[in-house]
């Protein structure tokens, strides 16, 4: 997206519905799950959008496929380059394989092993880098220049945002099928591609719903940016358990969307995230990665108190997005047995 001014690029509901047509019978229409035990725990009706069950185990496949499927034959021959710590890497790798084009992914050498192995298993070439000494953006740009390949951003791209927005389309359709009104939605936020896409869909089709982002306390750049009214980064600090949400700053394209449409941003610490992972596994029988469980962590930690119990507001609900399930097995074992 270099050279494009943010204000000149818009993502609208027509873009999201067009993405849904491209993804039909390609992406999984992930389920909207309800747990009586969770409802009782938090005192309200909750539905979980399980993007953990999406292809590659995360929502990222949606945006990657929507972007790559629109490349012409010549561009497909040259291939694509992306940089990611894991889920976007896998999404691009699988989308490229499905469309018959080469893909190279720039990944940090300390990325979760399960994500590295999965990316390679989808047929992509992987270039490792040291996140403390090297720039993944510079590496990707140089490779793209050498090969004539297309760089596929993780979130700051209209087609990627529109593809992620199909999560919102599905949520609206599924809640309507159940006769449920969405009171609020909680969603993890890193660079903002998923939440921006959902926001485009839901503010059009479910305008009464309040949308909240959830990010790690140590990487609360979206919260700080909303307060400042402009994009700002979080101050340097320790790494977060939520590696997928360690974006240094909201995107140029995603932030204006979030600024107009979010009701607020909540933050969670690593202890709350670990507890939510344990709860999801123990009570919901779901494997959710740290970044993917952030919204549930906020709910369980009381950061988003619900307005009414299920019996008093049976037609109103909170939707929580579980954005990914690609957790390193060794890390998951340590968290479960802590």
Give pLDDT tens digits for 196-226: 999 999 999 999 999 999 999 999 999 999 9
What pLDDT score does 314 carry?
61
- Considering the candidates 60, 84, 115, 316, report the single residue annotated as catalytic: 60
Structure tokens that stand for 269 in this block: 């610490």
| Cα–Cα dist 132/223, whole Å | 25
Q: Binning pLDDT at 50, 70 and 90, where does residue 306 land?
A: low
CA distance 185 to 52: 17
Which structure tokens are listed for 62? 């949606």
Annotated catalytic, 323? yes
Of the candidates 238, 194, 233, 236, which has an alpha carbon nearest to the alpha carbon of residue 214?
Answer: 194
* Other C-beta atoms lying within 10 Å of the C-beta of residue 23: 20
- Residues paired with residue 304 on neighbouring β-strands, in sequence order: none
| Residues 227-254 pLDDT 10s | 999 999 988 878 899 988 988 899 999 9
Q: What share of the chain is helix, strand, coil (3-state, %, to 5)?
A: 50, 15, 35
Check whether 2 has a pLDDT greater than 60: no
pLDDT of amino acid 131: 85
Structure tokens at 30: 């992930």
pLDDT at 206: 96
Q: Which residue of the set 85, 225, 240, 323 is catalytic?
A: 323
Take residue 6 and report the two structure tokens written for it: 């943010």
Asked whether the beta carbons of 273 and 241 are under 8 A apart, the reply is yes
The answer to whether 240 is a known catalytic residue is no
User: pLDDT tens, 151-203?
Assistant: 999 999 999 999 999 999 999 999 999 999 999 999 999 999 999 999 999 99
Q: What pLDDT score does 243 carry?
A: 87
Q: What is the pLDDT of residue 313?
A: 55
Give Cα separations from 268 to 164, 212, 301 (angstroms): 23, 13, 8
Closest CA relative to residue 153, chosen from 110, 89, 198: 89
Model pLDDT for residues 60-81, shown as the tens digit of each residue:
999 999 999 999 999 999 999 9
pLDDT of residue 47: 98
* Cα 243 → chain centroid: 12
Full set of structural domains in the chain with CATH? 6-59+159-337 (3.40.50.1100), 61-154 (3.40.50.1100)
């Amino acid at each position: 997206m270099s050279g494009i001014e943010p204000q000149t690029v818009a993502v609208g509901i027509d873009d999201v519905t067009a993405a849904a047509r491209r993804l039909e019978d390609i992406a999984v229409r992930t389920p909207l799950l309800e747990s009586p035990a969770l409802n009782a725990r938090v005192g309200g009706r909750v539905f979980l959008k399980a993007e953990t069950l999406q292809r590659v185990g995360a929502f990222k496949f949606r945006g990657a496929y929507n972007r790559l499927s629109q490349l012409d034959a010549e561009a497909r021959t040259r291939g694509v380059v992306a940089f990611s710590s894991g889920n976007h890497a896998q999404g691009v790798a699988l989308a490229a394989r499905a469309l018959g084009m080469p893909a190279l992914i720039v990944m940090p050498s300390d990325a979760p092993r399960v994500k590295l192995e999965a990316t390679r298993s989808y047929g992509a070439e992987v270039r490792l880098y040291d996140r403390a000494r090297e720039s993944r953006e510079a590496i990707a740009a140089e490779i793209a220049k050498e090969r004539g390949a297309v760089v596929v951003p993780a979130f700051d791209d209209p087609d990627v945002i529109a593809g992620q927005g199909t999560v919102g389309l599905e949520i609206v359709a599924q809640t309507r099928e159940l006769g449920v009104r969405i009171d609020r939605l909680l969603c993890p936020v890193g660079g903002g591609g998923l939440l921006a896409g959902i926001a485009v869909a839901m503010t059009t089709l479910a305008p009464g719903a309040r949308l909240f982002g959830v990010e790690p306390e140590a990487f609360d750049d979206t919260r700080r940016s909303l307060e400042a009214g402009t994009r700002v980064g979080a101050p340097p600090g320790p790494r977060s358990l939520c590696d997928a949400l360690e974006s240094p700053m909201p995107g140029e394209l995603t932030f204006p969307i979030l600024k107009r449409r979010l009701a607020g941003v909540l933050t969670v610490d690593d202890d709350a995230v670990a507890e939510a992972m344990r709860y999801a596994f123990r009570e919901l029988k779901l494997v959710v990665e740290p970044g993917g469980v952030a919204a549930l962590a906020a709910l369980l930690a009381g950061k988003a108190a619900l307005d009414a119990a299920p019996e008093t507001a049976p037609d109103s609900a909170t939707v929580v997005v579980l954005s990914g399930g690609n957790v390193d097995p060794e890390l998951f074992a340590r968290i479960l047995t802590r």
